[in-house]
Amino acid sequence: MNTTTSFPSVFPNNTVDQSSVSQTEKFLVFSVGKLNLALSVPIVEKILNYTAIHSSGTTASGIVHLENRSVTVIDLYQRLFNIKQPNISHAKQFLILAKNSQHESFGIVINETPTLFDVSLSQIRVLPASYRQNDTLNIASHVMIIPYKEDSLTVFLLDCDRLVNPV
């Protein structure tokens, strides 16, 4: 499986070309619990205000009806921590619409406004396969260390093909 489907032009073969370390990529960063997660901006379709999600409640997946299509929605709290989203006002929630490598749209519900970061490629590292196999964060492909205020953020880059398997 290709672990760089979110931005294959940047990381072919899971390596960072040393001539590209001064280049940057834009990422949409958001929190799920105490984790900082990110999606590469080119795969994000749009960010919407919360929309009603329909599901059985027994899995981390649901469905939302948007315009003329239905889209799979992933509950990352349930997927990562095996608990449902915390109860907060739907007026404060957002739905990030993105797409996997086969251009299938999917949604992620988040509880705060996401933040846009411009990240140097030198700050992005491939997650070791052993970590991915042994942690619930097997849906992440890379980790980024982003300077933020007087500290830094550790941010896990989501692998969209592991969130929503291409058909």
Look at residue 155 and tell me whether its pLDDT is greater than 80. Answer: yes
Which of the two residues, 18 and 101, has the higher pLDDT score?
Answer: 101
Look at residue 85 and tell me whether its pLDDT is greater than 80. Answer: no
Contact predicate 63/54, CB 8 Å? yes
**First vs last C-alpha separation in the chain:** 14
Q: 18 — phi, psi (to 5°)?
A: -60, -25
In the 8-state DSSP scheme, what is residue 150?
Answer: T
Contact predicate 32/110, CB 8 Å? yes
Between CA 151 and CA 11 the distance in angstroms is 26
Mean pLDDT for the stretch of residues 127-151: 89
Instruction: Return the minimum-mean-pLDDT range out of 16-25, 72-81, 158-167.
Output: 16-25
Look at residue 97 and tell me whether its pLDDT is greater than 80. Answer: yes
Look at residue 82 and tell me whether its pLDDT is greater than 90. Answer: no
Q: Mean pLDDT over all residues of the chain?
A: 84
Sheet with 115-120: strands ordered across: 115-120, 24-32, 35-40, 151-158, 140-148, 124-126
Mean pLDDT for the stretch of residues 88-101: 84
Confidence of residue 2 (pLDDT cuts 50, 70, 90): very low
Task: Measure CA 6 to chain center.
Answer: 9
Residue of 109, 72, 98 lying closest to 5 (CA atoms): 98
Q: What is the pLDDT of residue 127?
A: 92
What pTM did the predictor assign? 0.82
pLDDT tens across 57-73, in order?
778 889 999 989 999 99
Which of the two residues, 163 and 89, has the higher pLDDT score?
Answer: 163
Instruction: Return the minimum-mean-pLDDT range out of 32-46, 90-104, 117-131.
Output: 90-104
pLDDT tens across 19-29, in order?
555 699 999 99
